Structure 1
Amino acid sequence: MNSQNKISARIDYGIVLSLMLLCVISMISIYSAQLTNEQYNANFVMKQAVWFVVSGFAIFVIMQLDYERLTKWAYYFYGAGLLMLVFVLFFGKEVNGAKSWIIIPFLGSLQPSEVVKVILIIVLAKVIWDHNRKYKLHTVKLDFLLLVKIGIITIIPIGLIMLQPDLGTGLVFIAIMSGMILVSGITWKLIVPIYGSIIAIGGTLLYLVLYHESWLVKLGFKSYQFERIHTWINPESDPQGGGYQVLRAMTAIGSGQIGGNGAGYNAIAIPENHNDFIFTVIGGDFGFVGASILLAIYFLLIYQIIRVALDIGIPFYSYICTGVVMMIMFHVFENVGMNIGLLPITGIPLPFISYGGSALLGNMMAIGLVLGIRYNYQKSMFTVKEEKLAE
């Protein structure tokens, strides 16, 4: 039997190893977080272990979705995802002011938007792939048409998510879309002015919030809506209010210095340190060295995903890999950034590390897509060749 046909030869062990390392770090960090924080009595380590098992099974299922199934079922997945987002608006459980959760018997709560992230990656890859195969010649008009398609597909779930409301997840969707636009083949004549305009508008709004807030109030905005920006720029202005969390987070990370204080060392207790602020535990317990090792594992994982896209060479799969990379990168950048005061605080967890079954499931499903690309490589190549001959 050809070694390429053996299951063992179709597994990307580099990605699997990276996942295992992240899982170990997650369990140790969550355990340490519980030792330093008496906010909850639940055993989050055991709960996370259960979700690791569930997510591992999800990876196995996702890996079975070859090129043919993904392209044929993409819009069905998208429809199911939108139905979940609508369902949660009417029957969801409200947590911290956001109606984003549904209750799953025996497992607890599930946040559908985490699963829809993966679905968005699949359907955007399908849209871009179909468009580029149909229109071989790129023109500004045709590229603008593709841009509109991508925008419509993305804005519908974002709109439903903002009704929950969940700004952090909405930003992740935008990051996924932005990355996939960059590799879609759309001309820079459209990308540069659009992205440049967005950056200019964002910069202008930030300037107005900081120096001319009264102008925005006259336009209908409320002063309290700018509180998060003010506490991000200057957390010391409200140390017991909006700036409390970020000040405590930076203090906890700084306390670890180079080598850390050791796992479970009761240094700085921070609310939600097992969840969105798990990086403070890693920085405090294992110091700069531990935090650097974690970031190095993320970079290694991202490199391995990019290698899959380059090795396989099927554009549809390249788009999927891009979406997964953008999702992971944005999560890591935003989460670490908000923990060290570089970015505003949003409800975005650290991938594979933070406690939370929904986020873990969504991230594992995304990795399942990448592992499935390598796993189904030969069958996918055969199907793509058949499609080209039929065109």
Structure 2
Amino acid sequence: MLIILNLFFKSGYNKNEQVSSLGWSILLCLLILFCVSLSCIFFANLHESNFENAKKAILMQSLWYVLGILVVLGIMRLDEEQLLRVSKTGYFIFSAILFLVIFFYSRAYYLTTGAKSWFAFGPITFQPSELLKPFYILMMSRLLVEDYYNGPHKELCEDLELFYRMAKYTIPIIIMLKAINDFGTTMVYVAIFFGFLIISQCQARFLLGLLFLSFFFFLFLVIAASSKTGQQTLSLLGFKPYQFSRISSWLNPSNDATNQSYQLWQSIQAIGSGQLFGKGISGVFVYVPVRESDMIFSVIGETTGFTGSILVILVFLYLFYLILKCALTSKRIFYAYISTGVLVMLLFHTFENIGMTIGLVPLAGIPMPFVSEGGSSLIANFVGIGLVFSSQYPNVKNIFSSPSWL
């Protein structure tokens, strides 16, 4: 792992002191999260299975990390023209694969999770909705950079036109995710969509209007899902009973702690039992379902307590700051959009994952970036990091023939 990291900035790119500092700081964050990931996955599997399975889990996670670093090195060699072209190609290829998973999903995972999100090839599973995210970010960045060079918006029709062009590439994904019952991933795409809208050239009044509409729609969903009449109405729109259960358990986690609220209540108990400094590797641990992936923050809270949890959150905040700095220091608007999209993706993943384990937001199947067990999500995150690094080591060939952004 360290050898690969050492090769990272010896790949023939133009370097300067500021860029090297940013790059090494991001890699330091990833190295810390790598150690946190292996520790948490080992403890989670050890207490739910046996020592051999725990070793296999951390070995597989290490292999995914090595593959992720290699992916980053490969992406850094792509210039702006290549990224602009691969955006549309990658978007359509992985959208087609996402469509195929509707019919050829893993039956075993469907029975376990209720979602048709995974292909299974023997012991290896593959989640196309995760690997589509970076190409979706590239596609949205491409649309925004084209709009940027058309000049600032002055009329509402220009805002609506951009909204339509972005929605045209977003709605098909939402429909397919609805078909495979993956509401958590749907929220990630919606968050990225609105993140790009906020940094676009849309007028403030248009964005505020969308913000208020979104808020009232969310409020309507929560109120409707809390009553039988509302649930009947939402069922006609395609909402599932388990989604109502998650909202109910979120609003009152102790109401049905042995059934609907069991996972959330166990997670809250596990985190609370860690107190200030955690239990360490000894003691009686609270059972939390799926704690090696979606509920991994409960492991952090239980083993390291409030102190360790805050330190992990600070690492994430510092990583987000560095990615934001990459966006602000990028000399190309296309790379600035890419870095912002990756920032929104990782930020929403982290907020939702931590929030759902402590009852701040409803439960959703969203892993913690770079920490949760799983290959598809981890590789998608590394693709995002590779795109961020490409903004600091650009091989610039702009097919739009535009001046530099800064």
What is the deviation of 1:336? 0.5
Look up the match of 1:342: 360
What is the deviation of 1:265? 4.1
Partner amino acid, structure 1, of 2:43: S
Change in 2 beyond 3 A, CA 1:217/1:102: closer
Secondary structure at the aligned position of 1:109 is classed as strand
Where do residues 99-138 of structure 1 align in structure 2 (5 Å cutoff)? 99-104=116-121, 108-138=124-154
Change in 2 beyond 3 A, CA 1:39/1:197: farther
Of 197, 208, 211, which aligns to 1:181? 197
Look up the match of 1:387: 401
- Gapped regions of structure 1 (runs ≥ 5): none
Look up the match of 1:59: 72
Look up the match of 2:37: 26
Runs of 4+ in 1 over 6 A off after TM superposition: none
- Gapped regions of structure 2 (runs ≥ 5): 1-9
Partner amino acid, structure 2, of 1:92: Y
Of 327, 350, 353, which aligns to 1:332? 350
Of 174, 179, 182, which aligns to 1:166? 182
Does the CA-based 8 Å contact 1:176-1:323 persist in structure 2? yes
Where do residues 153-232 of structure 1 align in structure 2 (5 Å cutoff)? 153-210=169-226, 212-217=227-232, 221=236, 224=241, 226-232=244-250
What is the deviation of 1:235? 1.9
Does the CA-based 8 Å contact 2:231-2:244 persist in structure 1? no
Rounded to whole Å, the distance in 1 between the matches of 2:268 and 2:235 is: 34
Look up the match of 1:97: 114
Higher mean C-alpha displacement, 78-87 vs 355-364: 78-87
Where do residues 233-382 of structure 1 align in structure 2 (5 Å cutoff)? 233-263=251-281, 265-376=283-394, 379-380=395-396
Rounded to whole Å, the distance in 1 between the matches of 2:146 and 2:282 is: 52
CA deviation map 1:83-104 (0-9, x unaligned): 1112222223231222211235
What is the deviation of 1:69? 0.8
Look up the match of 2:4: none
Partner amino acid, structure 2, of 1:22: L
Between Structure 1 and Structure 2, how many residues are aligned? Answer: 381
Rounded to whole Å, the distance in 1 between the matches of 2:258 and 2:197 is: 42
What is the deviation of 1:136? 4.8
Higher mean C-alpha displacement, 135-144 vs 35-44: 35-44
Change in 2 beyond 3 A, CA 1:37/1:289: same
Of 150, 155, 167, which aligns to 1:139? 155
Computed over aligned residues only, the root mean square deviation of the Cα atoms, in angstroms, reads 2.4
Change in 2 beyond 3 A, CA 1:66/1:359: same
Rounded to whole Å, the distance in 1 between the matches of 2:201 and 2:400 is: 23
Does the CA-based 8 Å contact 1:101-1:112 persist in structure 2? yes
What is the deviation of 1:49? 1.2
Q: TM-score, normalised by structure 2?
A: 0.88
Residue identity over aligned pairs, in percent, reads: 30
Higher mean C-alpha displacement, 216-225 vs 69-78: 216-225
Does the CA-based 8 Å contact 2:141-2:334 persist in structure 1? yes
CA deviation map 1:146-198 (0-9, x unaligned): 01111111111121122112111111000111111100111112111122011
Change in 2 beyond 3 A, CA 1:386/1:233: closer
Rounded to whole Å, the distance in 1 between the matches of 2:282 and 2:98 is: 38
Look up the match of 1:84: 97
Rounded to whole Å, the distance in 1 between the matches of 2:399 and 2:376 is: 37
Higher mean C-alpha displacement, 267-276 vs 294-303: 267-276
Rounded to whole Å, the distance in 2 between the matches of 1:219 and 1:51 is: 39
Q: TM-score, normalised by structure 1?
A: 0.91
Rounded to whole Å, the distance in 2 between the matches of 1:285 and 1:127 is: 45
Secondary structure at the aligned position of 2:386 is classed as helix
Secondary structure at the aligned position of 2:401 is classed as helix
Secondary structure at the aligned position of 1:90 is classed as coil
Rounded to whole Å, the distance in 2 between the matches of 1:269 and 1:326 is: 32
Partner amino acid, structure 1, of 2:105: G
Partner amino acid, structure 1, of 2:217: I
Partner amino acid, structure 2, of 1:171: M
